[in-house]
Structure formats: structure tokens, C-alpha cells
Chain A
Amino acid sequence: MDKLNLEGTEDTPTIVLDSENNHFEISGRSLPEDSAEFYQPVLDWLNIYAANPNPQTHFTFKMDYFNTASSKLLLDVLSKLEDLNGDGHDVKVLWFYQEDDPDMEDAGEEYQDLIEVPFELKTFSV
């Protein structure tokens, strides 16, 4: 299927959804004017992917910052991964946060509580 490749800007994240290379990642900053509109292509892509997923889907989140409007849409993305996992597929969320960023660490822990999917919290340094 076609890749979804969006380059990050000052208010939108970098998005790579590439089933051919088994690369699934959202990273950077997310505070778009209309978060529902911005994330719709991501949700659409995941709906199509769910019909015929790879044997393994490891999805990376490496966020620098996201606003509350985006937090709802990120939960929608995670819910899609939860569904995929519920259908018996090998799914894992890799949630990266910067070592000195307790807010992104907390956000990861909160999503981990809300979503039933294998979830790993990892640090990264810049």
C-alpha cells in the first residue's frame, strides 16, 4: 500500500507510515490549528492497513510536545493499534521521551493506562 510521509513543521509532527519498510512513526511537535483534520489521513491509512497488516507492527512515538487537542487524536491512533492487537496481530507501541522531560513521560504512562496494547516507555537524548 502507499506510504504516508509527512514532513514535520513548527506546528505539525513528522509522520512516516510505511508498511513496505515496516516503519511506523510519529515524532516532533503537534499543535495544528485543526487537529482532527490533520490526523484524518493517519486514521484513514491505519484503517486500510488493518485489513492486511504486516506480521509485526511496532509503532514509534517520539514526541517533543503535543497540545491537548492533539492528545485526543493521538489516543484515536492508539485505539486503532489496540484494535489491531485485539484482532490477534503482533503490535507494540514504543513511546520515546527525552530524558529530562517528565511531561512526555507522564503522557506516555497515561496512554499506557488507557490502552490495552503492549507498551514500552523508553528515553532518548538529543
Chain B
Amino acid sequence: MGYNIQDVVDIHRNMLSNNIMLFYEGAFSQDIIKSVLKFTERKLEYIETQTSVKKKVFNVMVECLQNICKHVESEEGLIDTKSMFMIAKENGDYIVTTGNPVNNDKVEELSGILRKINEFSEEELKSVFKSLLKDGTSKDYGISGLGLIDVARKTGSKFNFDFKDLDSNYRFFILQTRISY
């Protein structure tokens, strides 16, 4: 595919019409996470007036971004693979979407954890969070349980997720959450 100017203009128009505040594609590290947070915070300064909403968006972004790192670090050979992060605004809500490869064997466990979290009430999320905090990591919630439960609590919304085919060993894990207020 040749990248002529029109292709780039189309990508830009698409970003504008979908209110995409930031789309990052590539590898993730703590330095990149800090940069992504800084970019988004600056944008939020202009478009968001409520401090509590800004803080919530920041909180959810940190957990989602560090979640990508955890998946990638837990898997040798995934370090150089392509992951993605996107934040967009829709009717006043903020939509955070992450994508990263996960090993086929993790798919069942991960979707089980997410389904379980999606079924919890606010009170259940609170008590599971507290017991995980006190007792450390739990087999029931994997490496990213505490972070995912925190996101579910802070957003008050259910996760959307999917696993797209990538190759024979990996699937592309897409996770999406919505911050409404």
C-alpha cells in the first residue's frame, strides 16, 4: 500500500470524526506509559473541566496500560510484539481500549476472569478487591486481577472484550472499558 497524502488525510478525518484523542501502536514500557499519560492529561486539561473525571480517566488508563505490560512480560518472546492503546470520547463518555497478544493457553482463564468480574455487583467488587489486597495475588484472578477489579469499580461499567486470531500460538486480546459520569 502506498501512503499518499489522501490516505493520511483519511486517517486524520477518521480520528476526528470518531473523537480519537490518542492512538498508540507498538511496544510498551514504563517510559512509553508515562508519555501516553502525559499526552492524554494535556488533552484532558483542554476538554474536561471536572477534576474528578480527569482523575478517573488517569486511574483507568494507568491500570489498562500496566496490564498490557504484565501480559507481555509474563510471556517470553512477546516483548517485540505489537500492542495498542486508544482513548476516545463518545457522547461525553471516555472509552479506553487496549490490545495485546496473549498465548492461546491464557485465553480461557482470562475470559473466565473477565466474565466473573462483569457479573459482580458494586459490593462484591469491593469485597473481592479488599480480600485480594490483603491476601496478595490469587489464582482465581491471575496476574492482572486486582487492576481489572479496580477498573471495574472505578468505571462502574462492564468490560467488552474479544480475542482475535493472530497466528497458531497467539491471539490478539482486545479489552475495552467506558468511563461515564
Contact = CB atoms under 8 A, between A and B. Distances in A.
A103 B56 contact: yes
A98 B28 CA distance: 31
B55 A71 contact: no
Contacts of A113: 130
B55 A101 contact: yes
Contacts of A67: 59, 62-63, 66, 147
A65 B55 CA distance: 8
A101 B111 CA distance: 32
| Majority SS at the chain B contact face | helix
A13 to B, nearest CB: 14
Contact of B133 (A10, A71, A98, A101): A71
Say which size band chain A's interface belongs to. Answer: 10 to 19
Interface string A7-23: 00011000000000000
* Residue in B34, B55, B63 whose Cβ sees the most chain A Cβ within 10 Å: B55
Nearest to A33: B30
Contacts of B130: 110, 113-114
A67 B67 CA distance: 11
* Residue in B38, B56, B62, B146 whose Cβ sees the most chain A Cβ within 10 Å: B62
Say which size band chain B's interface belongs to. Answer: 20 to 34
Contacts of B136: 72
A27 to B, nearest CB: 16
Interface string B22-48: 000000001000100010000000000
Given A102-B52, A103-B154, A72 B133 contact: yes
Contacts of B59: 65, 67, 103
Interface in B146-173: 146-147, 150, 154
Contact of B147 (A65, A68, A101): A68
B66 A31 contact: yes
Contact of A68 (B30, B38, B126, B150): B150
B134 A75 contact: yes
Q: 3 smallest A-B Cβ distances: which pairs? A: A33-B30, A68-B146, A68-B147
26 contacts: A11-B30, A11-B34, A31-B66, A33-B30, A65-B58, A65-B59, A67-B62, A67-B147, A68-B146, A68-B147, A68-B150, A69-B66, A69-B146, A72-B133, A98-B51, A100-B51, A100-B52, A101-B51, A102-B52, A103-B59, A103-B154, A110-B126, A110-B129, A110-B130, A113-B130, A114-B133
Interface of A: 10-11, 31, 33, 65, 67-69, 71-72, 75, 98, 100-103, 110, 113-114
